[in-house]
Structure 1
Amino acid sequence: MRAVVKFIKWLFGLIVLAVIALFAWLYFAPPELIRVGSGYAAKIVCSNVFIAGRDPNEVLAVDVQAPGHPLLKLMKVSVDKERGLVSAGLLWTLGKSVAVERDGVGCASVPDGDTGRARQTSVHIEPLAVASQDALWPEGERVDALQNPAVTKIVDDAAIVGTGMRAVVVVKNGRIVAERYGEGFSAKTPLVGWSMTKTVNAAIVGTLVKDGKMALDNKGLFSPWKADGRAAISLADMMAMSSGLEFNEDYGDVADVTRMLYLEPDMAGFAETKPLGGEVGKAFSYSSGTAVMLSRLWQEAIGDKVKALSWPRTALFEPLGMHSAVLETDERGTFVGSSYLYATAHDWARFGQFLLQGGVWNGAQILPAGFVDWMRQPAPASKVYGNGQVWIEGPGDEENPGAGAAAGLPKDTYWMEGHDGQTVAIIPSEQLVVVRLGLTPAKLGYRPQAMVGALVKALHQ
């Protein structure tokens, strides 16, 4: 009997030591997957709390944990509103990550923990004037919705607007004719565009092209590239996602894209090191790393750091009246042009209308004449992606070309598209822009072509 008791005590002690060893390993040398998860949780909660004014517990439960990796269910967050800090970790302490809020440039993930350096990116920008509530959109925020029963039926149909819809805005002939919002969201809620940010970033490049500070045929874009085959990559190749550079865009694990966004303080520097994996100009590879490098390039073209940090607002957001727009940087001050623009649905619609009008707003030619037409021409290496970071066939249709035609969409339809169901459809021939924002994971199989096709038909009635 004593031997049995002794064995049980020995086994219990071994288990305790194993648990202590496991905890120590996870605390001092956490696997990268845990650090990616905690970095994601901290960043998403930070942006939604400080930009969108949402409740941190709701954001953690609904935006981070519910649709994400099972590991995220164990993530806990702590928010310090006075210091503008959010920390997250597995059970609060393991694989801990932090995100910091800065004036004018939103939140940044801080993978190396150097929040002091991250705060150096802050730039004081005078708040944009609030749009008039009395003036009609887009000059103001007032909406006189079109009383079209067929349109109303579409935007009220939960199945057609999709699970997790947070905002739908329909613009016809330059005016909002219908809008709907999910529970807890409104026309005043800034929402992340994810990869729709890429299109905005491409337009920012266009403002520098117009000013003569950048040229689409520029090559030898980064100093280390000049010594190898990457010297042949042009700015136009980067815009068309045809650089030939290796970059793994798989969000399911620790891939290049998740490493860049949540483990690298210098995102552009990380992406810049990638070697060639295909022929320059002929190999299409969708890459968030490419978009962040474009941000680095246009910021360097401006030269002055403070001026570069204010450029998106002064060159684009202010002229368009995008009063809510916040484009975020990484820890080192490079705009995350791949992913992190927050704006209200009304402001996303303003940008879509701006593209529909060929880069002209209130009579001012903000982008070079013909630049938007060039953006939506098929990229040399792709039939469904445009030269300027827009989709031609539509979200997801690189695997299902022709879905737009099947939904009855005009041939000139093109799209901005982002993770978890963010889309802006732009149809010049119909003078139509349709914004759809939400939290709709790809596994649900939702595509907005049917909604937009139905709206086209209804607006003809």
Structure 2
Amino acid sequence: MKTALKITGILLLIILSFVVYTNYPKLDIITGFASKNVCSCTFIAQRDLTSIESQDNDFSPVFYTKNNINYKNKSVTSTLFGLNPRTAVYKEGLGCILLPENSSAQQISLKPKRNFKPNTAPFPYGDEAQKDTIFKNIDYKQLDKAVNNAFDAPNEKQKRTRALLVIYKDHIIAEKYADGFNKDTKILGWSMTKSITSAIVGVLEKQGKVNRNQFHLFKSWDEDQRAEITLNNLLQMNSGLEWTEDYNAISDVTKMLYQAPDMPKIQLEKPLINKPNQHWNYSSGTTNLISAFIANQFKNKQDYLDFWYTELIDKIGMHSMVIETDFEANFIGSSYGWATARDWSKFGLLYLHNGIWNGEEILTKAWINYTTTPTNTSDGIYGAQFWLNAGGQFPDLPKDLYSCNGFQGQKVSIIPSKETVIVRFGLTEAPEFDFNVMLSGILKAIK
């Protein structure tokens, strides 16, 4: 018996040593991801640790981390087998921020101004319940079947949908949530946040403060060919700048999100490896570079932080939304926008209505048309920080469909020809989750 236990102990030690050895170069990123994600899910989404670890952090090697929550200081420290502690701290208005080495939470002092004034109008333009409406052209049985089919059956763990919301002619016609989630749960949109960043540029252009065709975007680029990169090139992901977007390795994007205190700087310092407008390359670094460009249009960081909320987010009633920042108070416009499914749907409705919100023009129709114009060399799948179906990626869906997309299958789909916005949150994407089937099934119910 003792011999067997000894052998088992040795084997476990060998396995443990192997795991640590093979992942040691990634430790900073692994514990950084764990602490940041647990912190945000705890203090923004108000979820418990058991739920977070069993769902959001349930993949190797992240599920080996130990996560200690300090509720008093609103921080989370994560380690992997006791190694490489990383701490993320929650700051009101800014979300959770990974602390660089030899830094403290006291160095973070800014806070965006918000307008949470209640609006007594019915959804979507206010906070009150929507007016009951039955549409004769909707097959509600077929709609319910399509919605229910997007969720796992009992004891299943494949589709992993958390929220599904269908808006038709400004009315919620279907809404369903997984256990532990509801209409008030803030959910991370991941790269759907890129579309918010694009919209901020659209607001600035409408106000005459920027032009999508301008170049000489950053002083450090003025002495080389990067000076010719336009704002349009950044928005359309075809700047020609070097970037590797690989979440399964130590790459530009993982180093940016989990190691860099100043995230836009990573892409800012990259060389030009292709001619602008000749090579489409998906890059979260590029979106954070756009965020830095936006910051440069203001006298100070406070005005920059306020602008996103006063001129767009709070103006259209997305009061649950929090866009997190890095340590240097740059909005992480590539990845870290949190809001309820209903508030994400409001953003989709703004685009569905060509930039008009309850009678007020927030974005111009020309900006919406620009957003949905395919990027050169993208094969019709990408516009200005939005994904398109112009190339027929989804064969059973209208080609005018376009969407905000995020990691693990977050999606706000806008279908103008059907006057519909569909919001889905989950933990799986293609091929485990078939969006063509889900979306087409819902749209078939609308005659």
Q: Name the TM-score, length of structure 2 as normaliser.
A: 0.89
1:402 aligns with 2:395: no
1:34 aligns with 2:30: no
The equivalent residue for 2:91 is 102
Whether the 8 Å CA contact 1:169–1:435 is kept in 2: the answer is yes
Structure with a larger share of its residues in helix? 1
Offset at residue 303 of structure 1 (A): 2.4
Offset at residue 159 of structure 1 (A): 5.8
What SS is found at the alignment partner of 1:302?
Answer: coil
- Please tell me the residue identity of whatever aligns with 1:84: K
1:79 aligns with 2:69: yes
Distance 1:131 1:48 in 2: 27
Residues 158, 375 of structure 1: alpha-carbon distance in 2 compared, 3 angstrom cutoff? closer
Offset at residue 126 of structure 1 (A): 4.5
Distance 1:190 1:131 in 2: 20
Distance 2:164 2:412 in 1: 10
Distance 2:331 2:434 in 1: 29
The match for 1:50 among 40, 43, 60 is 43
- Please tell me the residue identity of whatever aligns with 2:236: A
**Aligned positions of 1:362-381 closer than 5 A:** 362-381=358-377
Distance 1:333 1:131 in 2: 30
Distance 2:442 2:239 in 1: 37
- Please tell me the residue identity of whatever aligns with 1:455: I
The match for 2:164 among 161, 164, 168 is 168
The match for 2:108 among 119, 124, 134 is 119
The match for 2:416 among 428, 432, 446 is 428
Whether the 8 Å CA contact 2:115–2:314 is kept in 1: the answer is no
The equivalent residue for 1:450 is 437
Distance 1:452 1:338 in 2: 25
What SS is found at the alignment partner of 1:203?
Answer: helix
Distance 2:197 2:214 in 1: 17
* Identical amino acids, percent of aligned pairs: 35
Distance 1:47 1:355 in 2: 28
The match for 2:144 among 152, 163, 172 is 152
Distance 2:141 2:125 in 1: 23
Gap regions ≥5 residues in structure 2:
1-9
Whether the 8 Å CA contact 1:170–1:435 is kept in 2: the answer is yes
The equivalent residue for 1:247 is 243
Distance 1:403 1:235 in 2: 27
- Please tell me the residue identity of whatever aligns with 1:107: C
The equivalent residue for 2:7 is none
Distance 2:411 2:133 in 1: 21
**Aligned positions of 1:15-414 closer than 5 A:** 31-64=24-57, 66=58, 68=59, 70-91=60-81, 93-116=82-105, 119-120=108-109, 122-123=110-111, 125-126=113-114, 128-130=116-118, 132=120, 135-143=122-130, 144=132, 146=134, 148-158=140-150, 163-393=159-389, 402-404=392-394, 406-407=395-396, 409-414=397-402
Distance 1:185 1:131 in 2: 24
Query: How many residues were matched structurally?
Result: 424
The match for 2:405 among 393, 417, 425 is 417
Distance 2:189 2:252 in 1: 20
Whether the 8 Å CA contact 1:100–1:119 is kept in 2: the answer is no
Residues 186, 101 of structure 1: alpha-carbon distance in 2 compared, 3 angstrom cutoff? same
Whether the 8 Å CA contact 1:117–1:332 is kept in 2: the answer is no
Distance 1:299 1:124 in 2: 13
